[in-house]
Amino acid sequence: MLGVVQGLTEFLPISSSAHLRIVSAAFFGRDAGAAFTAVTQLGTEAAVIIFFARDIGRLVATWFRGFGDAVIRRTPDYRLAWLVIIGTIPIGLLGVLLEEQIQTAARNLWLIASTLVIFGLLLGLAERVGRQRVELRDMRVVDGITLGFAQAMALIPGVSRSGGTITAGLFLGFTRTAAVRYSFLLAIPAVVASGLFQIPDVFAGDGPSPVQMVVATLIAFVLGYASIAWLLRYVARHSVYVFVWYRVALGLLLFVALGFGWLSAT
């Protein structure tokens, strides 16, 4: 069940970590944990790597070639490769510095309900006021840094890695498609590093068995791959308001469940 949730929600701007936390509490009476989330994200990031293999290969090759070729250093691909690296730094630093808080206080369901609503409304505002003219080839260093910090906010469940990046991208004037594609590329280094780092933690205590983790990760990979293709087609033709309405509705429903004591916040 959790593998299905991870695969379906990882790339949508609705927060997969919030959904895993809510589903764990509602159906199993306990938190699957931040480590479980990080490791199953290896499956969804594998889907990203395969789906964007051509783009990733071109960016990596251009980055290496740029060290010895001044002409290549002036190309959009070389700049984009550096911007992915630069944008990864905030979440890497904050993830290490705030690891304990991320695994404990940040997983409180009252906080998650709040972030679902607040950042959902911010996503709607960004959709409304964003000019949506800037493409990836037009990115500046300040854009990469800003989007990197926007991704780092997703260390709090409920914000959403893609949601934070897309929201910031729309505010900066990026097209929906450009913001989504960059969010995919930006997530790869951070998510893979986090997942590999937390593999030992996920089996600590009464956590899942290796077989359960493999099954969940494989399911997340398959559904994540399908989710990428769907989201890219969707944002090319539609606004993101459906995700805004969904986030607000889920957040309010979670407030009700917590208020009536149907779910425990911790």
For residue 158, which phi and psi values (nearest 5 degrees)?
105, -25
Q: Which of 161, 149, 148 is nearest to 115 (CA)?
A: 161
Length of the chain equals 266
pLDDT at 237: 94
Cβ atoms of 156 and 117 within 8 Å: the answer is no
217 falls within a domain: yes
Best CA proximity match to 168, nearest among 189, 154, 155, 188: 154
d(CA 205, CA 199): 13
C-alpha angle with apex 207: 99 to 39, nearest 5 degrees? 55
170 in a domain, yes or no? Answer: yes
Q: Is position 235 within any domain?
A: yes
pLDDT at 32: 85
264 found inside a domain: no
pLDDT tens digits in sequence order for the chain, 266 residues long: 999 999 999 999 999 999 999 999 999 888 888 888 888 999 999 999 999 999 999 999 999 999 999 999 999 999 999 999 999 999 999 988 988 888 888 999 999 999 999 999 999 999 999 999 999 999 999 999 999 999 999 999 999 999 999 999 999 999 999 999 999 999 999 889 888 888 888 877 677 888 989 999 999 999 999 999 999 999 999 999 999 999 999 999 999 999 999 999 98
Does any domain span residue 115?
yes
- pLDDT for the residue 203: 78
SS3 145: helix
pLDDT at 197: 85
Kindly give the residue spans of alpha helices, DSSP state H, lying in 67-108.
76-97, 99-103
- The domain of 66 spans 2-259
Q: 187 with 51: CB under 8 angstroms?
A: no
- Write the CA distances from 54 to 74, 130, 164, 251, integer angstroms: 20, 29, 25, 38
One-letter amino acid for residue 114 of the chain: S
**Residue 206 within any structural domain of the chain:** yes
Q: Would 265 be classed as within a structural domain?
A: no
What pLDDT was estimated at residue 30?
84
For residue 32, being part of any structural domain is answered with yes
**Domain count of the fold of the chain:** 1
Q: Is 174 helix (H, G, I), strand (E, B) or coil?
A: strand
Task: Report if pTM > 0.95.
Answer: no
- In 3D space, the residue among 86, 44, 46 whose CA is nearest the CA of residue 186 turns out to be 86
Q: What integer pLDDT is reported at residue 246 of this predicted model?
A: 98
